[in-house]
Amino acid sequence: MEDNAKCFIKIKKGYYEEITYKELNKRRNEDDTYKNKKFIPIQKMLIEVSKEEYQDFYKEIERRKYIKKKSKDFIFISIDEIDEDMEIREKNLLADEKTNVDFEAERKIEIEQLKNALLQLDDEEYKIIKALFYDEKSLRDYAQIIGVSYGTVLYRKNQIIKKLKKILKF
């Protein structure tokens, strides 16, 4: 980590002090309470988190590494692929004249493009999108879960959406 990288140290619930990585190391050398603090990297910054959040963060990273490693040994078939195969078989049995085939084809292409765009997000960005859009958590609830302000989560969400729009070329 660069010496001038931002680090956020929890002062009290919901409030953080911004210091540099160099200052953090200095505090760690001078004050034993800083040696036990846990930090996770988010967009080239460090943020102090609880022991449980720290463990969850690195457990997820290890899980992803394990899945990636195991995926080389096996051929995985996603539920989406199985569903698509079933849909194709069903459509071959009975043609639904009410279905707009062009619309459905465009929709499937857009969904596939969105999936590919989501894969280009880093872990922290993906967690935010998953929590807000898939798990349907409110901005306020998610901010409280990760211990940052509502405005911070709103800003991050907007930045991620801009990034996705750029990837998708909207």
In-domain check, residue 46: yes
Count of domains observed in the chain: 1
Let me know if residue 10 belongs to a domain. yes
pTM score, whole prediction: 0.41
Q: List pLDDT tens digits, range 148-162.
A: 999 999 999 999 999
**68-94 average pLDDT score:** 63
Confidence class for position 99, pLDDT limits 50, 70, 90: low
Q: Is the pLDDT of residue 125 over 80?
A: yes
Full DSSP string of 13-68: TTEEEEEEHHHHHHHHHH-GGGTT-EEEEETTEEEEE-HHHHHHHHHHHHHHHHHH
- Beta-bridged to residue 39, according to DSSP, are 48
Q: Which residue range forms the structural domain that includes residue 41?
A: 6-50
Rounded to an integer, the average pLDDT of 120-133 is: 90
